Amino acid sequence: MQRGIEGDFYNTLTKDDAVPISNPEHPGWLEICIDIDPVAHESVSAFLFDLGCTGIVSEDLQGHSLKAYLPFQKNPEHTRKRISVFLRKLNEIFPEIPSPELTLTETEDQDWNRNWRRFFHADRVTPNLMIVPAWEPMPEAVDGHVIRIDPGPAFGTGQHATTRMCLEAMEKIHFSKTWTMLDVGTGSGILATYGAKLGANKILAIDIDPEALRWAERNIQINDLSEFINLSNTPLEQVKGTFSVLTANLILGQILKLFHRFSHLLRPSGWLILSGILKDQVEEVKGTLNEYRFREIEILYQEDWACMIAKKR
């Protein structure tokens, strides 16, 4: 699916825009902890949400563990078996990663609506950009740009290495006087929002997840940028037109699968920013760049991740 790589923490909201709150009658939660290589985090997160988890948290951005919270059930062993079967199948897709470790723990009810927010505070991402949570007051004096974000269940708060590198990469591009942008798998809309802050005349931000689009719309409105950014659930294969800049913070498999469309949708001399790539996957992406006649400009590295900046020949 066209979805951002994996966020710094994840939280799923109920239909009325609020996550479960503390309830003395609530039977509690089953905490699911899975220690697994980051390359599989998005697949695991999607499975856990489908399982019924109301929140997924990655507290240590340099670690491999994901914690998910499922309303307590009478037979937790049934849940363990379902997850174990999924993880075994996942090893067939990612044979190169170590076997994941699974731990289940019963825990008391908590107010997840407030607790997850302790992981996200105002953050200077680059010397020219500060990310401020929507629920925190705006700093009185800030040099450079400010983006206010309420991530909701979407990916992209600016804390994860892949998002930070994409934002930094956008600052390195030499824009023409008028330029356009396509953000593939927009998630929270943070890259599209920064594109508008940097002066893009027209931005198309796509995601096939309606929940992500709903929160991206909220973030775009918070930053008063609705007139510059068009949100859409159109699959990449059906997107029309060409763009000056294309950003894609995905995972390797999605990037390789969609690369022919990236090339088709970028104008001559257009800029391509790719992340969600692990360091040891860079050489494979380099080969694809050459195949589609892209010139590598720069590669950024943070933690286990890489971000590639390329230009269409």
Beta strands in the chain (DSSP E): 9-11, 29-35, 55-57, 65-71, 101-107, 123-126, 129-133, 145-149, 180-184, 202-206, 229-232, 243-249, 266-278, 294-302, 305-312
Q: Determine the 3-state secondary structure of 34 from DSSP.
A: strand
Query: Which of 221, 216, 279 has its CA nearest to residue 252?
Result: 279
Residue 63 has pLDDT above 70, yes or no: no
Q: With bands split at pLDDT 50, 70 and 90, how would you rate the model's confidence at 143?
A: confident
- Between CA 138 and CA 143, with CA 141 as vertex, the angle to 5 degrees is 110
Residue 285 has pLDDT above 80, yes or no: yes
**Lowest mean pLDDT segment, chosen from 15-29, 47-61, 242-256:** 15-29
Positive or negative: CA dihedral 255, 256, 259, 261: negative
Residue 173 has what pLDDT? 93
Report the CATH number of the 156-312 domain. Answer: 3.40.50.150
Q: Judge if 22-110 and 156-312 fold alike in CATH terms.
A: no
Residue 20 has what pLDDT? 36
- Tens digit of pLDDT for each residue in 226-235? 999 999 999 9
| Model pTM score | 0.73
- Tens digit of pLDDT for each residue in 236-261? 999 999 999 999 998 888 999 999 99
Give dist(CA 131, CA 47) in Å, integer: 29
Residue 273 has pLDDT above 60, yes or no: yes
Task: Spell out the domain ranges in the chain.
Answer: 22-110, 156-312
Residue 66 has what pLDDT? 84
The architecture that CATH gives domain 22-110 is: 2-Layer Sandwich (3.30)
